[in-house]
Amino acid sequence: MSTTTTRDATRPAPAKVSKTKPRRGVRGTTFNFWLFTGPFLIGLLIFVYIPILWSAWLSFYEARYTVTPDKFVGFDNYEYMLTNGDFVGSLGTFTVFAAIVVPITWALSLGLALMVHRLRFMKAFFRSVFFLPTAVSFVAASLIWKMSIFSGVRFGLMNTVLGWFGIENVAWLADPNPPWYWLVIVTLRLWLQAGFYMILFLAALQNIPPSLYEAAAIDGAKPGWQTFWYITLPQLRATSTAVILLLLVAAYQAFDEFFNLITKTTWGRPPLVELYYTALGESQDYGAGSAGAMILTALICTVTLLQGRIMGFGRGDENK
Amino acid sequence: MTTTTPPIKETAPRVSKSKPQRIRRGSVISSTGLYIATGVAAFLFLVPFYLIVRNALSTDAEITGEEWKFFPTDIQWGNISELFSDNTVPFATSLWNSTIVGVAHTVGVLLICSLAGYGLARIPYKHANKIFYLVLVTLMVPAAVTFVPSFVLVSSLGWVSSFRGLIIPGLFSGFTCFLFRQYFLGFPKELEEAARVDGLGYWGAYWRVVVPNSLNFFAAIATITFIQGWNAFLWPLVIGQDQEAWTVQVALSSYMTNQTVNFHLIFMATAISILPLVLVFLFLQRWLVQGVAQTGIKG
């Protein structure tokens, strides 16, 4: 394939004079553009645009057990989802989840980065240790958390450790009162993600010019809190904003650990888990499921647009 | 900071005199503290890995016993063969499926998205900007959120429980295309112009000059893409309706809801499912770190 196209594009070029070249160039440009981007764009159309449009259409129909419905119901599916306690509750679950997990992950990954950055020897080793959980899937981590660390019985690690201090077994995941399951879910995500964001902070820390610290030392700033507060943190502002927004979007898509840790309950369900049971559970209600997907899409678009404002994506476009 | 600026002349000599001493004394204390704190954190981060290994190589009696056992009395290598001869969950099939899906996903994403990224970055087609906006718009909608509509489409195509259904819908990543475009925008134009002078078209220049000079970037994206493909759960769960089409993650998940619980087998399965990634991680960490830094910052 590569040989034929190259020949087509190049063979006449030397033979003809420069006068015809621009016209050929334009035609070759169009052809080459579609040659490079065609496969991707066709796939994007079929597997991204069509599903969204189809889903938008489905969301206005009564579509149980079928994806080609004929009963138009207007905004009934939306009304159903927005007055449905489970779906609205899942948005509440997400809000609580994001409010806990985003600031803690931000602080921990920044802390780890600051520590690793200051190490003189064994730096690579510690960086690897903190980064290693990134390779583990949410499913595998859920399994370890559910069946070993936070197992509700005596032989779970946490209950064993608590037992050494004479504390009785805690049912970490079985009982929403008190909501110990948040501890399980948040520590899992922390373990899995902190290393990833630590790498981002480390890269940013390396980009802070040392002259800033030297200048501060001359000015009498004490190394420690003062330089951290007045130099490091402001210099990391761009990365911090990016990390927080990435964490927010990631929290929004949380599915794996909730699905695997908390099964067969009506509590502790984030939006995607709720959608999964609505559309693919026993009722197979694609209409309501699609309406839910549309609502979530609208929400996340809003968040992303705000993010774009804050991060200044608009400026990047002007450069282009 | 600013208030302390005026008396520079006074303090400067004092600082420089006392500085070496203070740094040495302070740094011994603070670096000891630093290493203790880092060590404790590292220990906590390694506990889950320890638990996998311990449980995978123990008997159920040792795992569930009254007293906590830090290590199995006899290392149970037999757990491996027991896992593969256990028929309740098709673990071997799921490993094979994950391998196919992981590799095909990585190769496909790299090929399709890099070509598109190059086209958008370098080929001066008049509508290129408008088309790029169509790609950018998809970045706002994470694939996970639209799994219901995607499932509707894929099931109408009859691709449920097939490799096609597992692999193809995930290949058209707007984000990866975006990353490649940004990368190619920064690729030195002189190299391509040299290729053009040698009589290569866009296609030839791309394969003979651009790709060979971008292998680091390709490797970074490849490691990240492979990890994502191997670890993906929601889409394989939705598509893998038959056991035959389960990936490793779906198989692991099914262990958690099974009636019978064999701890040693479950943890051996977990260990084996993580092993390929730990290997990727140990040998390709340089590219992985680079890839994370690149993908994350552009987020």
Query: What's the sign of the alpha-carbon dihedral A21, B187, B177, B195?
Result: positive
Residue B287 CA to residue A156 CA, distance in Å, equals: 37
A213 falls within a domain: yes
A90 falls within a domain: no
Chain B: closest CA distance from residue A170 (Å): 16
Helix B215-231 × helix B174-185 angle, to 10°: 170
Q: What is the pLDDT of residues A60-74, one digit of tens each?
A: 888 777 777 777 887
Residue A6 CA to residue B204 CA, distance in Å, equals: 6
Q: Where are the alpha helices (DSSP H) in chain B?
A: 8-56, 60-64, 78-85, 91-122, 128-139, 147-156, 163-167, 174-185, 189-197, 202-205, 215-231, 234-239, 248-257, 263-283, 285-298
A301 falls within a domain: no
A286 falls within a domain: no
Residues of chain B with C-beta less than 8 angstroms from the C-beta of A29: 123-125
Residue whose tokens read 């449905």:
A84
A170 falls within a domain: yes
Chain B: closest CA distance from residue A177 (Å): 23
- Please indicate whether, in this complex, the C-beta atoms of A200 and B297 are within 8 angstroms of each other: yes
- Please indicate whether, in this complex, the C-beta atoms of B51 and A157 are within 8 angstroms of each other: yes
Q: Which helix (H) or strand (E) holds A108?
A: helix A85-118
**Which of A112-121, A146-155, B108-117, B159-168 has the weakest average pLDDT?**
A146-155
Query: What's the sign of the alpha-carbon dihedral A154, A160, A162, A163?
Result: positive
Q: What is the pLDDT of residues A14-28, one digit of tens each?
A: 444 444 444 444 458
Chain A: closest CA distance from residue B220 (Å): 14
Residues of chain A with C-beta less than 8 angstroms from the C-beta of B199: 10, 13-14
What pLDDT was estimated at residue B193? Answer: 83
Under DSSP, the state recorded for A312 is T
Residues of chain A with C-beta less than 8 angstroms from the C-beta of B107: none
What pLDDT was estimated at residue B24? Answer: 55
Helix (H, G, I), strand (E, B) or coil at A248: helix
What pLDDT was estimated at residue B27? Answer: 67
Instruction: Give the CA angle between residues A51, B143, A265 to the nearest 5°.
Output: 100
A54 falls within a domain: no
What pLDDT was estimated at residue A2? Answer: 38
Residue whose tokens read 């898509």:
A253
Instruction: Give the CA angle between residues A296, A299, A302 to the nearest 5°.
Output: 150
pLDDT, mean of residues B5-20: 40
What pLDDT was estimated at residue A5? Answer: 40
Residue A128 CA to residue A112 CA, distance in Å, equals: 12
The residue of B203, B246, B248 whose CB has the most chain A CBs within 10 angstroms, and thus the best one to mutate to test that interface, is: B203
A312 confidence band (pLDDT: 50, 70, 90): low
Q: Which of A47, A143, A217 sits opposite B256 (nearest CB)?
A: A143
Instruction: Answer with the residue of higher pLDDT: B270 or B145.
Output: B270
Q: 3-state SS string over A199-227?
A: HHHHHHHHCCCHHHHHHHHHCCCCCCHHH
**From A1, which residue of chain B is nearest by alpha-carbon distance?**
B203
pLDDT, mean of residues A38-66: 86
What pLDDT was estimated at residue A105? Answer: 94
What pLDDT was estimated at residue B104? Answer: 95
Residues of chain A with C-beta less than 8 angstroms from the C-beta of B65: 155
Chain A: closest CA distance from residue B187 (Å): 15
What pLDDT was estimated at residue B85? Answer: 82
Number of other CB atoms surrounding residue A56 within 10 Å: 15
A203 falls within a domain: yes
Residue environment code for A4-26, b if the CB has 16+ CB neighbours within 10 A, otherwise e: ebbeebbeeeeeeeeeeeeeeee
Nearest to A286 by CA among A73, A80, A63: A63
Cβ-Cβ pairs closer than 8 A, A with B, add up to 309
Domains: count for chain A: 1
CA atoms within 13 A on the CB side of B199: 9
Residue B228 CA to residue A249 CA, distance in Å, equals: 16
Helix (H, G, I), strand (E, B) or coil at B142: coil
Residue A316 CA to residue A295 CA, distance in Å, equals: 29
* pLDDT above 80: residue B241: yes
Residue B69 CA to residue B244 CA, distance in Å, equals: 37
Instruction: Answer with the residue of higher pLDDT: B12 or A39.
Output: A39
What pLDDT was estimated at residue B295? Answer: 64
Q: What is the CATH number of the domain that holds A125?
A: 1.10.3720.10
C-beta of residue B171 within 8 angstroms of C-beta of residue B286: no
**From B279, which residue of chain A is nearest by alpha-carbon distance?**
A135
Residue B230 CA to residue B4 CA, distance in Å, equals: 55
Residues of chain B with C-beta less than 8 angstroms from the C-beta of A272: 144-145, 147, 234
Which residues span the domain enclosing A124?
99-269
Residue A284 CA to residue B299 CA, distance in Å, equals: 34
Q: Which of A10, A218, A275 sits opposite B199 (nearest CB)?
A: A10
Residue environment code for B110-128, b if the CB has 16+ CB neighbours within 10 A, otherwise e: bebbbbbbbbbbbbebeeb
* pLDDT above 80: residue A311: no
C-beta of residue A106 within 8 angstroms of C-beta of residue A244: yes
A89 confidence band (pLDDT: 50, 70, 90): confident
- Please indicate whether, in this complex, the C-beta atoms of A301 and B41 are within 8 angstroms of each other: no
Q: Which of B8, B51, B125 sits opposite A30 (nearest CB)?
A: B125
What secondary structure does DSSP assign to B157-188, as a single string?
Answer: TT-TTSHHHHHGGGS--HHHHHHHHHHHHTS-
Residue A34 CA to residue B115 CA, distance in Å, equals: 10
Residues of chain A with C-beta less than 8 angstroms from the C-beta of B200: 6, 10
CA atoms within 13 A on the CB side of B246: 18
Q: Per-domain residue ranges for chain B?
A: 8-79, 82-298
- Please indicate whether, in this complex, the C-beta atoms of A5 and B204 are within 8 angstroms of each other: yes
Residues of chain B with C-beta less than 8 angstroms from the C-beta of A230: 1
pLDDT, mean of residues B224-233: 90
Q: What is the pLDDT of residues B166-221, one digit of tens each?
A: 999 989 988 889 889 988 988 888 888 888 888 888 888 889 889 998 888 898 88
Q: What is the pTM of this model?
A: 0.82
A210 falls within a domain: yes
- Please indicate whether, in this complex, the C-beta atoms of A48 and B5 are within 8 angstroms of each other: no
% residues pLDDT > 90 (chain A): 14
* pLDDT above 90: residue B20: no
**From A226, which residue of chain B is nearest by alpha-carbon distance?**
B1
C-beta of residue B45 within 8 angstroms of C-beta of residue A130: yes
Q: 3-state SS string over A122-138?
A: CHHHHHHHHHHHHHCCH
Residues of chain B with C-beta less than 8 angstroms from the C-beta of A59: none
CATH of B82-298 among 1.10.260.40, 2.40.37.10, 1.10.3720.10, 2.40.50.140: 1.10.3720.10
Nearest to A48 by CA among B48, B287, B57, B140: B140
Q: What is the pLDDT of residues A205-225, one digit of tens each?
A: 888 888 888 888 888 877 777
- Please indicate whether, in this complex, the C-beta atoms of A58 and B4 are within 8 angstroms of each other: no
The CA-based dihedral angle spanning residues A104, B227, B144, A244, taken in that order and rounded to the nearest 10 degrees: 30
